[in-house]
Every structure is written in C-alpha cells, then in structure tokens.
Structure 1
C-alpha cells in the first residue's frame, strides 16, 4: 500500500494549494474527468490549472467549471476550448451526497488536486466551508509555531 501512495505522489499534475487555506475541507471524493484526446495529452504534460476551479451539480451531473487545460501543441483542429465545462465521473450516491452538502449556506465543492492513477486522470474534490479571516490567521500562527519548534529541535 505504501508503494501506491508513493506512486500517486509522483503523478500529481496540479494542486490547489490555496484551497486548504481558504476552506475547511470536511470530506474528499475521487472523481474521474471526461476529457477529449488532446485534453488528456495536455493534462499528462502538466498543462492544467485548477486554482480558480469549482464544481457544480446540474441535472444529476457533477460539472467541473473554470479549470484551464492548455491546448495541446500538436492538436491543431482537434483542440477544444481551454475553459470548457467538463463532466466529472462519480457514482450517483456520491453526487447526491455532494448535492445535499452544497444546499447548506457557505459550502462549496473545491478541486484539490489532479493526478494520474492507472493511466486515468483523477480529480480529488473536497466539500469546503469558507474560512473567516481570523481562522486563516490562526492557521498562519500555528504553522509559524510548528516551523519555529522544528528549527529549535533541529539545533
């Protein structure tokens, strides 16, 4: 099992570092992404940005919005719009869970990271509740204290 975890870490293609700072993530789901041929080639090359992305639920489908996948350089006429809405591949019960969670005020579905698993592009999404400014300050303070403690233990 440790080998698979190590393998997944090497295959991380994009990560939303601000997500855990701006949102308190309560639950995560792994979803597949429905991509075209040239899009998957760009994703494998690491040409994907998920920082501004979010997930919406519409007609029992989970849709990934505002994620930029750069056009494949050798794709010519087969390239599609880089910011198009893409369908996420989830089980119906997972979609229902997400739909129920989003009905609460202040809750959103945030993409956390994109990685390859057995040759398929996967997206880790999380149910996040927006943090207040004082929560963010507490996180920064705690991180600085841990860093300082690590420095002292090192010496």
Structure 2
C-alpha cells in the first residue's frame, strides 16, 4: 500500500474532531453518521485497529462535498490510527470546492486528505495499482457488474451507496 508522510501538492491537512466545531461542521457530522454505510465503516476501522494496524487508506469514489470521508478520517484518528490517507473524487467541481474548503479548516500531520474532480470509474482503475483499505463506492444504474469488478480491484473492502441508486431508480 502507498502511504505518504510528506505533503504532496493538493493535500489538505486536518485535525481530529473536537468539541469546537461550528454548527455547519456538526450538521455535516450528523449527516455522515446517518449514512447507511457508516456502521460497516466503523466495524472495518475497529477491526483493523484490533489487528494492530496503525495506518489506513480510504477512498470515496463519489464524495460529493466530502462530509462522509472527512468524518471517517477524523474518526480513524480518534481510534488511534497515526497515518491516515483519504482521497475523495467527484465529477461536480462545486462539490469538490466545498469539500476542500471544509477540509482546509482543520490540520493534523497524521491525516493527508485530497479531493479531486474526476470520474469514479477512472479513479477506481487508478486505485487498483495500490488498493485502498476501504472504498466508498457509488452504485451504478448501468454497468453494475462491471463497476463491482472494478471496485473489488481498487480496495480490500467496498461499501456501496445503495440508497443513492434507489433514489436514481425512483426518478
């Protein structure tokens, strides 16, 4: 796995969660806690820590404004991970800009976090070279089998956003 301890271009450093957050940060945390993937993500983080892991790499291939990924890396830090790498990808440049602004309000040398505008499938292809520990993956209304196979090569554990897929099917 690839763990970067330097600060590559585009990395935003973050601090662990504290009680000093503003109202908007707290509401972002609340939304992240309500994500259906959150319990499985916590189990994965706890399991890795129980096995002695001190570093983790998390990729969110449809990160939106980055709330879930930011919350996940903060929680990983609180659990005792000392090298945390997070990558968020989304096609919407406005959401990526929002994610970067949210992350820039914090700093912690143990957490490297980058948000990029791009295609989720292309990001998963890139991740296959050095698979992440955890991939938050968008469900696809077309080509689900192809995306599932691609996701399995990009990470040890894949958590699918099935709720978003159901919402697209209803529209």
TM-score, reference length from structure 2: 0.26
* Greater per-residue helix proportion: 2
**Greater relative CO, 1 or 2 (CA 8 Å, sep 6+):** 1
Q: Which structure has the bigger radius of gyration? A: 1
